[in-house]
A = this chain, B = another copy of it.
Amino acid sequence: MRISEAADACGLSADTIRYYEKSGMIPPIRRDASGRRRFSAADIDWLTLIYWLRETGMPLRQMRRFFTLAQGGPETIPERRQILTDHASELQRRRENLDKCDAVLAIKIASYDQPKPKVTP
């Protein structure tokens, strides 16, 4: 797979993939004879996970940590699991924020329908 196909497959842009490779959040991608990246299915899997972590706001620092651990052996699994479960709790917090914001928006929008509530009309 070439970078444009990889980008389509995982949802990240080609620029972002190159940037992630440069900054060590994904393994160095294999190159063909003319120096172009060729992505394996495993690369795509990794990029897809990264895509979802990013999409829900995981900082790159933490992704990098996760990647470094994944390079190590299975003894790093507990910490990897911890990072993912921590992120899952973060998602819960975000969901609550969305709810709160929904409420604020609903109140604000409603206030446009009843623009000036008179005091004892």
How many residues on the A side are at the interface (Cβ–Cβ under 8 A)? Answer: 29
- Residue numbers in B under 8 Å from A94 (CB-CB): 94, 98
A interface residues (Cβ-Cβ under 8 A, vs B): 48-49, 52-53, 55-56, 74, 77, 80-81, 84-85, 87-88, 91, 94-95, 97-98, 100-102, 104-106, 108-109, 112, 115
| 26 residue pairs bridging A and B, Cβ less than 8 Å apart | A48-B104, A49-B104, A52-B100, A52-B101, A52-B105, A53-B101, A55-B97, A56-B98, A56-B101, A74-B115, A77-B115, A80-B112, A81-B109, A84-B108, A84-B109, A85-B105, A85-B109, A87-B105, A88-B102, A88-B105, A91-B101, A91-B102, A94-B94, A94-B98, A95-B98, A98-B98
**Chain B residues, Cβ within 8 Å of A97:** 55-56
- State the 9 A-B residue pairs at the shortest beta-carbon distance, nearest first: A56-B101, A52-B101, A52-B104, A91-B98, A77-B112, A81-B112, A88-B105, A84-B105, A84-B109
Copies of this protein in the assembly total: 2
Q: Contact: B108 with A49, CB < 8 Å?
A: yes
CA distance A97 to B51 in the complex (A): 11
